[in-house]
Amino acid sequence: MTKLRTGEPWQPADVYGRSLRGLSLNLVVRSVTESVAFYEQTLTLRRLYSDEDFAAFAGHGLRLMLHADHTYGRMPTGRHVAEGLRGAGVEIRLLGPSPDHAALCAAQCGGEVLLPPTEFAHGWRECHVSDPSGYVFVVGEPTAEPERKGGGVRLRPLQGEDADTVLAVLDAWWGGRSMTPRLPRLFFEYFSDASFAAEDGESGRLLGFLCGFFATGDSERAYIHFVGVDPAERGRGIGRLLYERFFAAARAAGRTSVTAITAPVNTASVAFHQAMGFHLVPGDRIEMGLPVHTGREGPGTSHVVFRREV
């Protein structure tokens, strides 16, 4: 393997290699140096390291590496990269980053916009861009899931004026329990990038909502604080739709994990989170067969903590 790097690598190759799990991508490019901006800015991936020979990125659930042509002269893949555009017949689909942002940045970072942002029937709003070597990426975000029995469910960011609507029905949606003190108005006014409303596509009537935020002290974590669905509308998949929209927003913001909590007596919530791919975080004791965290939300409280990678 030919190398141009003269200093020491960022970490031993075997240490990084053993850290990879599941599917990762390794793209052989004409120039790592000329490609970095495309992956960092257009695809909003987090650069872990780069030099003239190699670069490593992470984000949106993806681990991606670049190797320069000169490092692959003796590898089987090397015979395919001498001439022409790369990745012929392959498109790499990345759900999470903003397609509008990708289309805006691609040409500025040495790439090309092949298809501007377009909404497709398969549930993505996407654009197609190529990197400086010709690899094609489809960058997309999910569109709102249609209601199959007529009408549609539309998702949008929560706004300050939504607070009055939500707080007026909150206790009723929870069977008369006093829930409004747990949902401050600030979520509607200051966290619109991570809080969403689900409404009827025709009437605009509120069907559900999700309030979350992105951690300020940890650039990789996001948190779902409060979710509600009108009891008359449950069973339509609105909760799942809201969670998927939050996951997409978290990925677009470079977050890699989402945390949520519930009470151990809320068995429906436990089942829902597990169905959504969350795992249970070990606690300090077992209650109702679940690991719980004692005192997490104050003296005398116990909660189940969920975490999911995105």
Structure confidence by residue, pLDDT tens digits, 285-308? 999 889 999 998 889 899 999 999
CA nearest neighbour of 135 among 246, 272, 38, 279: 38
Residue 57: how many CB atoms within 10 A of its CB?
Answer: 22
As a whole number, the mean pLDDT across the chain is 86
2-29: pLDDT as tens digits: 676 667 767 777 777 777 777 789 999 9
pLDDT on residue 81: 55
Interatomic CA distance for residues 102 and 94, integer angstroms: 11
Interatomic CA distance for residues 230 and 309, integer angstroms: 28
CA nearest neighbour of 103 among 95, 113, 111: 113
CA nearest neighbour of 46 among 277, 254, 300, 310: 254
Give the pairing of strands 25-29 and 62-68. Answer: parallel
Q: Domains of the chain by range and CATH?
A: 13-142 (3.10.180.10), 153-309 (3.40.630.30)
Interatomic CA distance for residues 256 and 245, integer angstroms: 15
pLDDT on residue 148: 45
pLDDT on residue 258: 95
